[in-house]
């Protein structure tokens, strides 16, 4: 079978590999859709820890093609999404139920072979059902949605609250929808590209703003601003120092800023402790998808979250190395690979 | 001015009273709308503690007609909703921030003169702004909505969860909408009258059922049921022993039942402790509206909660004693008095 | 090796079995101590689901005697405690992180061979380290302590709160200590035997009472009572209908009752819904030990929880069938088997 | 009567004033003890917003000398502690129950006359009972303790967790005790002065360290460190940029840092977002004492918190201006003024 192999910093190519065979408790999944994510680009540049040579692709779904001994919940022909993050179950974090903080985390598509291939091996514990009649591309959004759900859980958003979302990528577009789902009556998307602001409003943002157009804090939180006094929750989904610095300033008294963005190891951001204290703002972080993948699959299966407008390109495996090697073009939300 | 006076068990009449004069920190509010609630009927029957003679009406809104000295946030002509529940600030519950559990609670329309009158006195601390362009009847729903919000807060409903609502009165119809707002992807209304089931589905319930039609637990939670395995949260909004008994049985493993219904003091309900334990079900109660009235006003002001279909009758002050003396007619959700 | 075998309702005996051999990821543990618990008696009477023939014993600790392939964290000679409850990882409860509510739960000493034997097989994921210099009997208390910690977590006890503990068995004695550890400034033990009340006071209860001596609710929560107004949290640790009925009545406004006791399937208890509502009391249940076993091991290893006075008898394997067949004698807290 | 008056930046003196007369709902309290706090020094230097001329002193207790009309819960002769922070009840923060974040907060001893005087006026809602037999100086610790309780509540400390406390002032010494009370089995005090480290260990810290002695993060959280892997909760109680920067680095995976320290408006601190994200550390702030003053009074009344060793000097009113004008001498925890 063909697979997109990461071979070392800067080296990526489609190669021919053996089709995987299912071990005990394993599913072999024929990949229907596999998303290309910023993390894949980070891996290629050596900014995110991986274990080459390895097949990339941690956002994928497909059809069960074969099952190993001991598999009880899935049959050949089922559609499934794979939760890529495999916790060890043995470290102190796992023992405390913080599986996303596992000290020996394995991840499909990062440290073991992933979904940018014709077939991928998925332990039964990492697989979740999707309906047979779901459009095949949608399943690739379960992973980013599961991470976004975790962020919204951490934020404690409740009906009648307000939210600001910084960054109009796939995470930002999913968080906008989740904020609406969680009852936010006002949600403001802040991103630079006008097309993304428009899409966000179509997906449920009640307003949007361009952060480069002026003093975002004053324009939004000042008297007469879009959200005078600030938002109950600010979600940082851009992954750059500027937005991390902005996030707590946009939170209202008693509010929270939740960082979802993955910055570079060397990035530093300045905070103003007294300002946080006097307003008792919480600066939170949200990492991966602990126990949220099933809810993500359900929200996509029921159509509660709309992912169709997030597919900006559909490409083949052969094109994937090139797409990963380049920064995303303007307007791109998600390129989905159909092997 | 005219006012609906409760004079003692079974005795109620419209009477002529002095228009109230504002003391320090007080607003005099010209009532635009005042809801008739089951609690008014309980008071008339002597089943709910009150302090006659007193003007009834604890769900009201109107226009500020005069202000007393020291009032800073409201001006004559503003539209306001009144939070009827006045905590003492001195008792242990108040000191712990549980203002709804105040040991010396006063309530406008229960222990002091309320909104079933041309004018009502409202301490500034109990008043909240409503927009000038809101249809005047809507403000009367802030109080039941604030109670419903408290119930949903207590339940901890999050996006992707499921809910069951028992009882299709005004509380049930508001909770259905709040459950949708809080991200419930499946909400089942259980009530006996078909018209109420229909209205609930129109307001966001994804399904509905008649509890008298069979074995509700099996039909809903059994294999192939509407919510196989049960709901993440069950809201009891009917206020009768049958529904209280049903509620925890309809909750899924790890789920919760939240009792909002006010039963009679003598009512008793049997639970099965082992069933609760093995599924680790929580049986919770939700009383009044602590710190939720502002959110309620906001949800109504922004139209996030639809109250128009809940007004089933609009009547004058003179008709109110009769309406309170009778049980609500079939199909009634809320009779709103316009003085 | 010798093992205490449950063969069917009412049938229990010590038998000679093969010593277990470690499969992949398994530890073989030489048992140093194994507690006899009420659940063992329930199993023998057919009141608790099991899978005979099986070796009993779900509260045990010992020394690693052999390890199977793939074991990374333990070496031969290490002292370990075993978490008996093995979640499937595949069911909806497991996927949601509620591992204690697993729909296919296996339990060492209940559905697979347990610690009332010379040796027991423990998957590495179920084992936790204990210090080499810990008195060998103490490890047998990790499992009941882990369950008790879960109950205290659910209760949300915070410094300065008050607690009532119903039932002076091992669970009650551990909860008394945990309540003190969690900052309860007043903890009242309610149990019938004077010796148990005395022990509770020695372990940190600030007072105690005999429930059969009068009207417990009035005596404790009434004016001038031990905890006038009731307790912030009431822990039901007796496992009988009387104490379940009592628990919510002893909770203060805004307080909670947490049921830990395992009742019989047929037991029913009456509640008074209006009383719960007006005081907004929560009726909670706590089942097993999700993600708390490591904390239990740590609290015992550091001596923060004192288990020495809870060992009321130390017996050999041969005596175990007799002890399990009889109700516990007066004064018994825990009989520990040393094989 | 004599009172310590703040007259403007750098100007402070004892002056003769009229003894206050009780208005409606007021208590006149004869001050028994009044603490001098870093905030008084900040006010004198113009670094903390105040409203001169005003009598300082926001940590005080004393005996009710006179009561105004409408007072129901206190009698002349009662001992009380005063909660200095008076929320308006009208702003959005107050309506949401976040009274410590009130947008129009008044504070006794900051914006209105305080307890560094022979008598102080206290609204009944701000007063809480203390026992008649409590040593008179102890009541002055209720306010800092109430703030510390809020910090520990926010942290979510539970039995078996670990804590680090940065800064050995009165807040740090109270947090050490609260951490122990909340069940922390390991608490490390980090402060520069050896005498303070010694006192912390005497009050319940299980270890201590000098932050100037090396690389605190490595020494404490590194392999073989005092708390290898870091602490579940880190409390910043020193109020300087260095300790704010240190706090999140000392937190373990899934842990939290709670900032209690009041920095200067111009202080900035650098954070490393990726490090926070990968370990999902929360950076929290804790401001004032919302709904915790009664618990503080209770913990001091019952002796659960030991404040005697925190009184390092007892002085008269005349000495107070000098003490406030100077930085605290080495070893000082709290100077208590006895008027
Ligand atoms: N925590 C987790 O578990 C988790 C999981 C998945 C992904 N992530 C991270 O989440 C972040 C978002 O992921 P993604 O896939 O949505 O990334 P993405 O497609 O790169 O989207 C980020 C968006 O941020 C916007 N942006 C960039 N700089 C900005 C600025 N200064 N102000 C406002 N907006 C700015 C950009 O849109 P404009 O050009 O319109 O400004 C861009 O589209 C990434 O850092 C990713 O690594 C985290
Ligand atoms: N906790 C609080 O803070 C709070 C605040 C306000 C009100 N309440 C209480 O909440 C409850 C609901 O208030 P409401 O104003 O909505 O009352 P309501 O108008 O009387 O509505 C209750 C509904 O319950 C349904 N019902 C009655 N018996 C039922 C049964 N056996 N099974 C299923 N449904 C049944 C009835 O509809 P069908 O005829 O269609 O069955 C009825 O319309 C009352 O008890 C009220 O006192 C509580
Ligand atoms: N939820 C969980 O995860 C979990 C885990 C382990 C055990 N459990 C359950 O927790 C319960 C306690 O376990 P245990 O091992 O401590 O049991 P135990 O040794 O049987 O102790 C229960 C104690 O309750 C007291 N008691 C009985 N009737 C009482 C009454 N009417 N009022 C007050 N006290 C009464 C008895 O002492 P006196 O004779 O002094 O009254 C008895 O010692 C059991 O039901 C057990 O099955 C639950
Ligand atoms: N959030 C709230 O509600 C609240 C309430 C009251 C007070 N506060 C604030 O909390 C902070 C503590 O109050 P406090 O009265 O305890 O103050 P304090 O007496 O000044 O104590 C602070 C201690 O921090 C230590 N310290 C200073 N620099 C340090 C460093 N680099 N590393 C480690 N320790 C250092 C000092 O002891 P060594 O000399 O031994 O290092 C000093 O004793 C202040 O900022 C205060 O304004 C906040
Ligand atoms: Zn792990
Ligand atoms: Zn009160
Ligand atoms: Zn399971
Ligand atoms: Zn305020």
CA dihedral A214, A220, A226, A227 (to 10 degrees): 180
First to last CA, chain D: 10
Tell me how close the Cα of D218 comes to any Cα of chain B, in angstroms: 39
For residue B335, the model assigns a pLDDT of 97
* pLDDT score for D104: 96
DSSP helix/strand/coil, A223:
coil
Can you read off the two tokens belonging to residue D329?
């001498």
Q: Which two tokens stand for residue B23?
A: 């003391």
Q: Nearest Cα to A324, choosing from A31, A34, A16?
A: A34
How far is Cα C43 from Cα C49, in angstroms, rounded to an integer?
Answer: 7
For the segment C251-261, the average pLDDT, to the nearest whole number, is 97
- Domains of chain C and any CATH numbers: 2-133+307-337 (3.90.180.10), 147-285 (3.40.50.720)
As a 3-state breakdown, chain B gives helix, strand, coil percent values, each rounded to 5, of: 30, 30, 40
Per-residue model confidence (pLDDT) at position A243:
98
- Burial letters C142-170, b for 16+ CB under 10 A, else e: bbbbbbbbbbbbbbbbbbbbbbbbbbbbb
Share of chain D above pLDDT 90, in %: 97
> What are the structure tokens assigned to D219, written together?
């020494």
CB A198 within 8 A of CB A336: no
B105 token code pair: 């609670």
pLDDT for B150 equals 98
Segment C5-17 shows an average pLDDT of 98
The answer to whether the bond into B186 is cis (omega within 30° of 0) is no
pLDDT over 90 (residue B80) = yes
Give the three-class secondary structure for B24. Answer: coil
Tokens encoding D230: 């870091």
pLDDT at C337: 98
**At residue A214, does pLDDT exceed 90?**
no
Query: Helix A142-155 vs helix A170-181: angle between axes, to the nearest 10 degrees?
Result: 50
Integer Cα distance of B1 and C15 in angstroms? 90
Average pLDDT over residues B68-81: 97
Cβ proximity of B262 and C277 under 8 Å: yes
Report whether pLDDT(A221) > 90.
Answer: yes
Please tell me the predicted confidence (pLDDT) of residue A204.
97
Confidence of residue A213 (pLDDT cuts 50, 70, 90): confident
CB contact under 8 A, B294 and D125: no
Ligand 4 atom 35: the closest Cα is on which residue?
Answer: D167
pLDDT for res C7 = 97
Q: Cβ distance B46 to B9 under 8 Å?
A: yes
Confidence label for A290 from pLDDT (cuts 50, 70 and 90): very high
Is any atom of ligand 1 closer than 6 Å to the C-beta of A276? no
Q: Do C95 and A291 touch (CB under 8 A)?
A: yes
Average pLDDT over every residue of C21-25? 96
Residue C138 CA to ligand 2 centre (angstroms): 53
Please report which confidence band the pLDDT of residue B214 belongs to, taking 50, 70 and 90 as the band edges: confident
Q: Percent of chain C, pLDDT > 70?
A: 100
Give CA–CA dist C56/C207, Å, rounded.
36
The verdict on a CB contact (< 8 Å) between C90 and A294 is no
How many CB atoms are located within 10 Å of the residue B66 CB? 17
Average pLDDT of the residues of chain B: 97
Average pLDDT along chain A: 97
Q: What are the residues whose beta carbons fall under 8 Å from the beta carbon of A238, sequence distance 6 or more?
A: A166, A167, A169, A172, A191, A261
Convert the pLDDT of each residue in A90-101 to its tens digit.
Answer: 999 999 999 999
* Residue nearest to ligand 1 atom 10, measured at CA: A261
pLDDT for res D201:
98
Distance from CA of B285 to the nearest CA of C (A): 5
DSSP C290: T
Q: In the structure, which protein residues have their CB atom closer than 6 angstroms to any atom of ligand 2?
A: B 37-39, 144, 147, 166-172, 190-193, 196, 211, 237-240, 242-243, 260-262, 286-288
- When pLDDT is averaged across residues C58-72 and rounded to a whole number, the result is 97
Q: pLDDT band at A222, cuts 50/70/90?
A: very high
DSSP for D138-204 reads: GGGGHHHHHHHHHHHHHHT--TT-EEEEE--SHHHHHHHHHHHHTT-SEEEEE-S-HHHHHHHHHTT
Mean pLDDT of B186-190: 97
Chain C contact probe: residue of B275, B280, B282, B291 with most C CBs at under 10 A: B280
In the block, tokens 């070496």 appear at C75
Q: Is the distance from CB of B318 to CB of B191 less than 8 angstroms?
A: no
Least CB–CB distance from B182: residue in A149, A153, A183: A183
Residue B47's pLDDT is 87
Chain A 248-307, residues with CB within 8 Å of chain D CB atoms: 253-254, 259, 261-265, 267-287
- What is this model's ipTM? 0.95
Residue C213's pLDDT band, with cuts at 50, 70 and 90, is confident
Chain A residues within 8 A of B182 when measuring between CB atoms: 158-159, 182-183
CA of D204 from ligand 4 middle (Å) equals: 18
Determine the average pLDDT of the residues in A207-222: 94
- Average of per-residue pLDDT across A265-285: 97
Residue C248 CA, distance from chain mean position: 21
Using CB atoms, pick whichever of C261, C262, C284 lies closest to residue B282. Answer: C284
Question: Which residues have CB under 8 Å from D304's CB, separation 6+?
Answer: C159, C160, C183, C185, D181
Q: What is the pLDDT of residue C47?
A: 87
**CB of A117 shorter than 6 A to ligand 1:** no
Whether the CB-CB separation of A143 and A34 falls below 8 Å is answered with no
Residue C139 has pLDDT above 90, yes or no: yes
* Dist CA A194 CA A206 (whole Å): 15
Model pTM score:
0.96
Model pLDDT for residues D270-323, shown as the tens digit of each residue:
999 999 999 999 999 999 999 999 999 999 999 999 999 999 999 999 999 999
Residues of A in contact with D254 (CB under 8 A): 93, 96, 98, 101
DSSP state at residue C288: S
The string of pLDDT tens digits covering residues B119-162 is 999 999 999 999 999 999 999 999 999 999 999 999 999 998 99
Using a CB-CB cut-off of 8 Å, the residues of chain A touching B153 are 158
C231: tokens are 């307790």
Cβ proximity of A160 and B295 under 8 Å: yes
- Per-residue pLDDT of C30-46, as tens digits, reads 999 999 999 999 999 99
Q: What is the distance between the alpha carbons of residues D251 and D227, in angstroms, rounded to a whole number?
A: 10
Q: What is the C-alpha separation between C273 and B162, in angstroms, rounded?
A: 24
Distances (CA, A) of A246 to A3, A157, A221, A294, C82: 40, 19, 12, 32, 48
The shortest C-alpha distance from C160 to chain D (Å) reads: 6
pLDDT of residue C89: 96
Structure tokens at D154: 């926010």
CA distance C221 to C198: 21
Q: How far is CA B227 from the centre of its chain?
A: 26
State yes or no: pLDDT of D206 exceeds 90.
Answer: yes
Chains A and D form CB pairs within 8 A to the count of 116
Answer yes or no: do B182 and A160 touch at CB < 8 A: no
Confidence at residue D1, expressed as pLDDT on a 0 to 100 scale: 97
Nearest CA in chain B to C276: B285
pLDDT digits (tens, 9 = 90+) for C281-311: 999 999 999 999 999 999 999 999 999 999 9
Give the ligand at the shortest distance from the Cα of A89: 5
CA atoms within 13 A on the CB side of B40: 32
| Cα–Cα distances in angstroms (integers) from residue B162 to residues B184, B242, B282, in the given order | 5, 21, 15
B65 — pLDDT class (breaks 50, 70, 90):
very high
Write the CA distances from D123 to C131, C156, D64, integer angstroms: 56, 32, 12
């Amino acid at each position: 079978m063909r697979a997109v192999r990461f071979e070392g910093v800067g080296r990526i190519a489609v190669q021919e590999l053996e089709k995987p065979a299912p071990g005990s408790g394993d599913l072999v999944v024929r990949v229907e859709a596999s998303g290309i994510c910023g993390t894949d680009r980070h891996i290629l540049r050596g900014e995110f820890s991986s274990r080459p040579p390895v097949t990339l692709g941690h956002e994928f779904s497909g059809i069960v093609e074969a099952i190993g001994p001991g598999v009880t919940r899935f049959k050949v022909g089922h559609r499934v999404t794979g939760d890529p993050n495999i916790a060890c179950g043995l470290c102190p974090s796992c023992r405390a139920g913080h599986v996303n903080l596992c000290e020996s985390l394995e991840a499909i598509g990062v440290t073991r072979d992933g979904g940018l291939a014709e077939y991928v091996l998925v332990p039964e514990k990492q697989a979740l059902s999707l309906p047979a009649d779901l459009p095949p591309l949608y399943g690739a959004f379960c992973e980013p949605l599961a991470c976004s759900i975790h962020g919204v859980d951490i934020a404690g958003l409740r009906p009648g609250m307000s939210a600001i979302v910084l960054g109009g990528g796939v995470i930002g577009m999913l968080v906008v929808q989740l904020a609406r789902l969680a009852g936010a009556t006002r949600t403001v998307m802040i991103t630079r590209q006008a097309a993304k602001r428009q899409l966000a409003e179509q997906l449920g943002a009640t307003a949007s703003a361009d952060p480069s157009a002026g003093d975002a804090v004053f324009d939004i939180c000042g008297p007469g601003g879009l959200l005078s006094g600030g938002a109950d929750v600010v979600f940082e989904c851009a992954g750059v120092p500027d937005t991390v610095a902005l996030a707590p300033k946009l939170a209202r008294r008693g509010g929270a800023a939740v960082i979802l963005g993955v910055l570079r190891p060397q990035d530093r951001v300045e905070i103003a402790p007294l300002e946080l204290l006097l307003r008792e703002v919480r600066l939170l972080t949200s990492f991966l998808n602990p126990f949220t993948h099933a809810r993500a699959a359900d929200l996509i299966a029921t159509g509660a979250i709309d992912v169709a407008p997030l597919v900006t390109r559909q490409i083949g495996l052969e094109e994937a190395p090139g797409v990963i090697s380049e920064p995303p073009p303007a307007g791109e939300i998600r390129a989905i690979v159909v092997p």
